[in-house]
Each structure stands twice: as structure tokens, then as C-alpha cells.
Amino acid sequence: MTQTPSSDNNGDKDRLKLRRVAIDTYHENVAYLHRNCELYRAEGFQALSKIVIMANGRRIHAVLNVVDDEAIVGTEELGLAEQAFAQLDMQQGEPAWVIHAEPVESMDAVRRKIRGERLLAEDYREIASDIAASRYSKMEMAAFLVACTQSGLDREETLYLTRAMADTGEHMQWDAPLVADKHCIGGIPGNRTTMLIVPIVAAHGLLMPKTSSRAITSPAGTADTMSVLAKVDLSPRSMHEVVNKTRACLAWGGRAHLAPADDILISVERPLGIDSESQMVASILSKKLAAGATHLLIDIPVGPTAKVRHMSQALRLRKLFEYIGDRIGVHLEVVISDGSQPIGCGIGPMLEARDVMQILEGDPDAPNDLRQKSLRLAGRILEFDPDVRGGQGYGIARDILEDGRALRKMQEIIAAQGKIDYAFIAGPLNIEIPADDDGVVTAIDNFKLAKIASLAGAPMERAAGVDLLKKLGEPVTRGEPLYRIHAAFSADFNFARHLAEQDSGYRIGHPDEISHSYMEI
């Protein structure tokens, strides 16, 4: 990077004192200069200029906000919002220098993409690396995402983006020929199969070091649910220790620094509500590539209120996953599953953890749909083992679950990660939502139930959420409870209850009206 002339002599006169400004700007680096700061005036900075901060031997990029209040930043200070301040690893008052940021060169490639051109591997590498280094503003990331969505990425470009994003962070190394992983593309509340599959697969002897995300918009992610039972915020080093001990882990992926460019892009993609298949596939596979997976099972639930609504889209996605998987050298299989209703009974971290433990403990009240789906998926992963004959996976998985090996493995994993003492006591404020008619349950809206559980406080309140009492096809009489809402705080409780009373998310009718099931596994 070339510099403006002033940076040739970072003399004392240009030096600013670092100050932490306790504002959370999420994934964007923001810096604050006082309007009367001599440097601000002399350098011709403007509000929202992109600047480079040099301090402690590092260079970070930030967007400049101009301040008129010395209580926030003084005229000889450089204020940095939390994210930017953390990146420098310095104390307040230490010296820092600021220069104009040169325009990000890889934005030229983005502008070529906007013009409809195909980009090369090198272009995607530079874009991903600039994004990971916080050189892109949110506007620039939005421009990149829209350009990719509108003219589309072809398969080769999706491959380039996958590799480029994987290479922006760490690559985990596992000393095993077969490292199993799974991913569900989401949208189905409850669906906590991972916490059953991992102990089953590890009990069989395969390595399955699973990193998961926390919920962003959903009422629970696997990391949120596992955190009810054990510590999940593991460093890469302790993740390795757990895996060495137990052949598996169920950890939050956040500290492993896997494909950070992907996390940053997601923080823009989500509020924009744009969604492209290429981005989704590149996002998932870049994380798995960085996590060191060699064998990967992808679950695509299909249903009228799932993320993927039509079989044709599921099949198209499957081809793209398979193509990229082959090119990056990951053995990948795709399962298209029934996404027509929530899986299991609980929605929310504690209620989902309860379902999982009931299944592991062989409790006759355990939800059978979650048990069956988990066994089927675990069976497919067991068949990655060359010694397992095709078609035998399910039976092996069932044996491991039924004879208690899965429960013991789960207890080992929990102990290795750090057990948390818990009691399955759902949020004390609760209400049952009744059926409004006689008949059978003909539809359950995944999106609506997830929304109700979120409003009730999940995942922040672990004991909050929704407990389903009826599933598709079950007969109900008018007034009979369909599900129970649990909350910890009355504001949350009232939000969730209000929404559920407007529309329960359930449809009651004649058995013929039950929405078609896509189950093929």
C-alpha cells in the first residue's frame, strides 16, 4: 500500500493519544476524531473517510466519525470503538498515527462484477482478504454481495469464493484420516440432531470435532443448546484436548477464527435479506474446509415454511454442494429431509437440551421424530467408515444409542469441555396455547413458532422458548393445548403470548389437508 506524503514522517506533531470509545459497532471499525483536532483539519479528512490507524506495529482500517464533544474524544486523541480498539491490543493514552486509507484495490474487481464480468480466483482471494482485514465498509460489502447475487456466481466462481474465504482465517489440523462433520442449512426449530449424532459417531470411533454457531436470528443454535450442559467457549487448543480425549467436541466455533470473512459478509447479508445459493454454499463449505473436515453430511430440510421450499431448489443446491465438495477434496453427501414442521418438542436452548438428554437416556417420553432423524443421519455418517457396509449405518447407530454408549460418550464430552450444573426447569412464566377447532394438526409454521420462541427470550434466556405438545397429524379437540410458551421476564412473555394469540402458527383441519412430507431418508 502506498501512503500519502504525510506518513513519511510520523513525527510527534501527528501523534494522537489512543482512547477507547465504549460504543459497540459490531463488525465495523469506527474511529472518532474531534472536529478541532489539528490533524483532522490538516489532512482534509471528511466524515466517513476511510482511514488507516498505525500503532503498536499494526495497521488497521476504520471509518471516521467526527465528534464535537471532548467528553467522547479530545482534540489530541484518537477514539476507537470497541472492535477497533480490541484489534490494536493497546492501552489508552498510547500513541497512534492516522493517515488516509488508499482506496481498496479489490473494489475494482467488485466494480467489474457489477458490470457483469466473471471474476478470477485471484480476485476473490483479494476481496476476501480485504474483507477479513476490515478494509471494506458495509456499503462496499453490500455492493459485493448484490453484484454476486444479481449476475450470479458460476460454479467455478463459487469454488473460488469458498477457497478464498476459508483462507482468510485459521485451518484446523486433525491427526486422523477421516474427520466427520455435518451441517443443516437451517430454518427448522428444534432440529437439534447434531447433539445426538456427535456422541453416536464418536462412540463408534470416528473423529467428529464439531464447531457450531450461536443463534443469530433463530431461537437456538447448537452452541446455545450445548451451553446449557457444558462450556462451549473453547480455545482451539482446548478443543484439541477435548477431541484427543473423547474423539469429539461440541464447541462454539467463534474462537477458532474459521473463515472470518464469511462471518463479516453474513453480518451484511442478513439485514439486507438477500440470499443467494452460491453465497450459502460458499459460506458453509469455507467454514468446513477451515475446520479440517474430510467427510461431510449436509441436511437440507424442505417444507412450505422451511428455508428451502421446493424439491427443485433442494436438488439444485445438492448439485452445487457436491460439485464444490469434490473440487475442495471433501467427501460430501447431501440428505434432503422433511422440513414441514419443527423436529422434537422443545424450541429454545434448555428445552432442546432436555429433548436431547431424554433421547440419550432412553426416556420413553423422548420425541421420536428427533430420535429417528438423528439415527438416520448418524447412520449415513457411520457409512463414511470404509468398514461399515452400505445400509448398516442406521442399525449401528441405533445399537450405540440403545445400549447407552452414546449417553456415556456425551457425558465424556461434557466432562472434557467443562460440565455445567443444570436443572431442566423451563421459564416460570408460562401459558398454553389452545386449539381453536376440532380436527387434526394439518400444518405448523416453522417461522412463526421460531418467532414466538425468540420473543419469549430464547436464546438469551436459556429457559425460555416453546414446548410443543402436538405435531402434524395428531388429533386435537377445541381448547386442547397445542404448545406451551415459557419465559423468564414479563415483557418477553407478553410479546410472545400476544403473537401466539394473534396466530398460533398451527392449522387444524381434516387429515387430507396435511401438507406433503418430503422425507426421503
In whole angstroms, the minimum distance from the beta carbon of 71 to a second copy comes to: 5
Q: How many CB atoms lie within 10 A of CB 6?
A: 16
In terms of CB distance, is 213 or 517 closer to a second copy? 213
First CA to last CA across the chain, in angstroms? 53
Find the shortest distance in angstroms from Cβ 519 to a second copy: 31
CA 16/CA 31 separation, integer angstroms = 12
Sign of CA dihedral 242, 247, 253, 257: positive
Task: Determine whether 492 is an active site residue.
Answer: no
Closest distance of CB 494 from a second copy, Å? 7
Pair 486, 467: CB distance under 8 Å:
yes
Count of residues making up the chain: 521
Nearer to a second copy, 44 or 390 (CB): 44
Which positions lie near a second copy, rule CB under 8 A? Answer: 4-6, 21-26, 32, 35, 42-44, 47-48, 50, 65-69, 71-72, 82, 103, 107, 111, 114-116, 137-143, 145-147, 149-151, 267-268, 271-274, 454-455, 457, 460, 489, 491-492, 494-495, 498-499
Q: Which of 69, 275, 326, 437 is catalytic?
A: 275
Name 90's Cβ contacts closer than 8 Å, sequence gap at least 6: 18, 55, 56, 96
- What's the rounded Cα separation, in Å, for the pair 101 and 111? 19
Report the candidate in 234, 225, 218, 183 with the shortest Cα–Cα distance to residue 381: 183
Cβ distance to a second copy smaller for residue 74 or 393: 74
Q: In angstroms, what is the minimal distance from the CB of 227 to a second copy?
A: 19
Torsion angle of alpha carbons 361, 364, 366, 370, nearest 10°? Answer: 100
Residue of 389, 410, 158, 386 whose CA lies nearest to 283: 158
CA atoms within 13 A on the CB side of 112: 12
Min. distance of Cβ 90 from a second copy in angstroms?
18
Comparison of 270 and 478: residue with beta carbon closer to a second copy: 270
Residue number, 190 or 457, with CB nearest to a second copy: 457
Q: Which helix (H) or strand (E) holds 336?
A: strand 331-338
Closest among 211, 227, 233, 191 to 463, alpha carbons compared: 227
Q: Which is nearer to a second copy, 110 or 406 (CB)?
A: 110
Q: How far is the CB of 23 from a second copy (least distance, A)?
A: 5
Grid-cell match 504525510, residue found: 6
- Active centre residues (catalytic): 275
